[in-house]
A and B are shown apart, each in its own frame.
Chain A
Amino acid sequence: MIPAYYHTIMTFTCINILLSLSIGVLAGYAGQVSLGHAAFMAIGAYASAMLTVTFKVSFWLAMPAAALVSAMVGLLLGVIALRLKEDFLAITTMGLNFIVIGVLLYAPYFGKALGIGDIPVPMLFGEEMGRGMYTALCLALVAGVVAAVWWLQRSWIGLAWRGIREAQDVAQVMGVNIAKFKIFAFVISTAIAGIAGSLYAHFLLFITPYDFGFPLSIQILTLAVLGGLGAIRGPVLGAILLTILPEYLRFIQDYRMLTYGLLLVLVMMYQPQGLFGHKSFLTEGLKRLFGGEEKIRGRAA
């Protein structure tokens, strides 16, 4: 029997993996970076919370709906993104984070600064889900999303995405409809972030706009950048590492943002493919250590 405290850590790890993957999809497969992903998590969390609290919808319907709402805003951002160069797109996503928080705080429908409380615990077979079951649900969703992303990456969509990232002009000549695929990447990515938001809301049972500020976006970005933008492996391992490690090194907690910031600087300067990315010193080292090429074959994007 695992104590509930570890359920908590595992649940947060799962949520972080989803967020990190969501950045990975956008960055890895469309060459875009979002600096405001906490906004989509907020949209997912609020959609799910309001559906279950105000409209008494079941969690099992609210979660997909939250993904859908988040993806719709993502679609809008994707359309805007077509008009912007990548660095200005990045600061637009950052701006979106501030705007979404501002709207949640000021518009009269979202509980303002009080947030939304009394969010129901999801029901399963007519009973409230236990902590263990909830953790299992999170793990299952992570597995599902990883599988879906993996399948997309293997299929022709992934090919198009990589084309866009590597050489936009060539991809265009080869008949890839860039606009369509970029927007698709935004939709998938923001839907994943929406699911993560929904899981967060029904775990904490109480959310406020302040939970989803810009610092969270930076943390999400760090998870993905540290692991390596692009592959499934990178974001997943980055998220696991950065969620579990600080729990053991409590003293790091006070230096948390300093650590995140320096990690971003150092990784971007010296190891832009991330710690677990293709040809990073860690993967190369591990490869040499275990001697086999096949252990990490094919995963690196």
Chain B
Amino acid sequence: MKKAIVAACLALVLCLPLAALADEVKIGFHAPLTGWAAADGQSALRGAQLAVEFINADGGINGNKVAMVYYDDRIEAKESVIVARKLIESDRVVGVVSGSYSTPTRAAAPIYDRNKVPYISTIGTHPEIPMNRDYVFQIAVMSPIHGRVGAWMAAETLKAKSAVLLVMDNDFGSAVTDGFRIMAPKYGINILKEYNYPLGEKDFRSLLSNIKNDNPDVLWASGYYEEAAQIAKQAKELGLKATIIGQEGYDSPKFFELAGDATNGVVITTNLDRGSQSPMAQKFLAEFFKQHKVAADMVAASAFDGMLVMAHAIKTAGTKPDDIAKAIGEMKNFEGVATGPLLAFDAQGVVTRYIPVQIVKDQAFTSLTVCKDPKLITP
């Protein structure tokens, strides 16, 4: 009986359809549509869908429509590997864009690379993702750059002399902090203390009470918007005076929904400049708000850009993997994206770009300054 069932299962497996439609350019996409990062996953999907709309309204790629095939990676490495195999072997996509965090993107990157499928990480910030991989690119800001720019901005713009670090214990939280820890002393900022906290923590009161005693000028706090909202709110409750410096993890409308007034004055480094004069940025922000009635965040903008970069490369180079990879690698000063010009890709496939710094005023991000110093923004 066992054999019969196994045989039946195998038969089912083999009969799965392997359909592929002609004169459509298939681009794969994955994001965490369920799981704890689902709010970002949804935002990323919306951004990517908007990009496909724009591309097709513009006549598609050399007359062919773009079709996006997307799957949920559940923010799990394992699921991301299954999705990669499926996109490559069942859907036979030309290229793949990741709208997911570092962990799923890092797990999938070697598979795309070995199978020669061009792959763009849009918000996965881990440096290992594109390393030594010819077909993997990263338009996300690499984690330590957030820290470096944060330190520069704290010293130059906020005139801070002392800082306390509040570090989320996952890959993102610790990697962004590395940049700050190295750069801060070079700008004359004295790091008084460093506290760790686990991902998903809700109660920061005991740490914040300590930090109030340390009395720093700025509080460098790595985290995602859920943690950030609690940090901002509880800091205000406890009467902490330090300016909170965050990163792109804060960049979500949820941050304002959860922390309200307490968000005012928080400063973050991100890649989406709300005050940008670039026509594509304006068009993206307006259209996104029109469709979804919420302001676009950096996740949506990044996924949007990832799709556009992939489409642009296919448009200029055709559908051969090597040509696409070459075209992405050779992009210079690419302006047709929402997050400012993509200056260039380095040998590892990581983009260099300006880093906008945003400050919260009346519960919305507004431009504070932009970091263009090549020493800081070069990966």
| Complex A–B touching at CB under 8 A | yes
Among B70-78, B279-287, B295-303, the stretch in contact with A: B70-78
Cross-chain contact B1 with A296 (CB below 8 angstroms): yes
Quick check: is A295 within 8 A (CB to CB) of the other chain? yes
Instruction: Give every chain A residue within 8 A of B171 (Cβ-Cβ).
Output: 113-115, 208
With A12-B82, A233-B2, A244-B9 in contact, do A253 and B107 touch (Cβ < 8 Å)? no
With A9-B82, A112-B174 in contact, do A105 and B107 touch (Cβ < 8 Å)? no
Quick check: is A110 within 8 A (CB to CB) of the other chain? no
Instruction: Give every chain A residue within 8 A of B9 (Cβ-Cβ).
Output: 240, 244
Q: In whole Å, how far is B127's beta carbon from the nearest beta carbon of chain A? A: 10
Cross-chain contact A204 with B78 (CB below 8 angstroms): yes
User: Count the A residues whose beta carbon is within 8 Å of the partner chain — how many?
Assistant: 36
Q: In whole Å, how far is A190's beta carbon from the nearest beta carbon of chain B? A: 21
Chain B 161-176, CB-CB to A under 8 Å as 1, else 0, gives 0000000011101110
Chain A 189-212, CB-CB to B under 8 Å as 1, else 0, gives 000000000001000111110110
B71 nearest in chain A by CB position: A250
Instruction: Give every chain B residue within 8 A of A113 (Cβ-Cβ).
Output: 169-171, 173-174, 199
Quick check: is B361 within 8 A (CB to CB) of the other chain? no
Chain B 108-139, CB-CB to A under 8 Å as 1, else 0, gives 00100000000000000010100000000000
Cross-chain contact A205 with B76 (CB below 8 angstroms): no
Instruction: Give every chain B residue within 8 A of A112 (Cβ-Cβ).
Output: 169, 174
Q: In whole Å, how far is A238's beta carbon from the nearest beta carbon of chain B? A: 11
Quick check: is B188 within 8 A (CB to CB) of the other chain? no
Instruction: Give every chain A residue within 8 A of B353 (Cβ-Cβ).
Output: none
Q: In whole Å, how far is A4's beta carbon from the nearest beta carbon of chain B? A: 6
Quick check: is B369 within 8 A (CB to CB) of the other chain? no
Q: In whole Å, how far is B374's beta carbon from the nearest beta carbon of chain A? A: 28
Quick check: is A237 within 8 A (CB to CB) of the other chain? yes
Chain B 81-108, CB-CB to A under 8 Å as 1, else 0, gives 1100110111000000000000100110
Instruction: Give every chain A residue within 8 A of B12 (Cβ-Cβ).
Output: 244, 248
With contacts defined as CB atoms under 8 Å apart, how many contacts are there between chain A and chain B in the complex?
84
Q: Which of A9, A206, A236, A237 contacts B106 (CB 8 A)?
A: A206
Chain A 1-31, CB-CB to B under 8 Å as 1, else 0, gives 0111110111010000000000000000000
Instruction: Give every chain A residue within 8 A of B107 (Cβ-Cβ).
Output: 204-206
Cross-chain contact B77 with A253 (CB below 8 angstroms): no
Q: Which of B141-169 contact A (CB under 8 A)?
A: 169
Q: How far apart sit A286 and B4, CA to CA, in the bound complex (Å)?
A: 12
B86 nearest in chain A by CB position: A5
Instruction: Give every chain A residue within 8 A of B85 (Cβ-Cβ).
Output: 4-5, 8
A295 nearest in chain B by CB position: B1
B103 nearest in chain A by CB position: A208
Quick check: is A127 within 8 A (CB to CB) of the other chain? no
A102 nearest in chain B by CB position: B198
Quick check: is B5 within 8 A (CB to CB) of the other chain? yes
Instruction: Give every chain B residue within 8 A of A106 (Cβ-Cβ).
Output: 169
Quick check: is A64 within 8 A (CB to CB) of the other chain? no
Cross-chain contact A205 with B89 (CB below 8 angstroms): no
Q: Which of B177-216 contact A (CB under 8 A)?
A: 198-199
Cross-chain contact A3 with B90 (CB below 8 angstroms): yes
Q: How far apart sit A105 and B89, CA to CA, in the bound complex (Å)?
A: 34
Nearest 8 A/B pairs, CB to CB: A5-B85, A113-B170, A5-B89, A3-B89, A8-B85, A114-B171, A113-B171, A206-B107
Interfacial residues, chain B to chain A (CB-CB below 8 A): 1-2, 5-6, 9, 12-14, 16, 18, 33-34, 72, 74, 76-78, 81-82, 85-86, 88-90, 103, 106-107, 110, 126, 128, 169-171, 173-175, 198-199
20 contacts between A and B (CB under 8 A): A2-B13, A5-B88, A6-B13, A8-B85, A112-B174, A113-B170, A114-B175, A115-B171, A117-B106, A204-B77, A205-B110, A206-B107, A210-B170, A211-B76, A211-B77, A237-B5, A240-B5, A240-B9, A254-B34, A254-B72
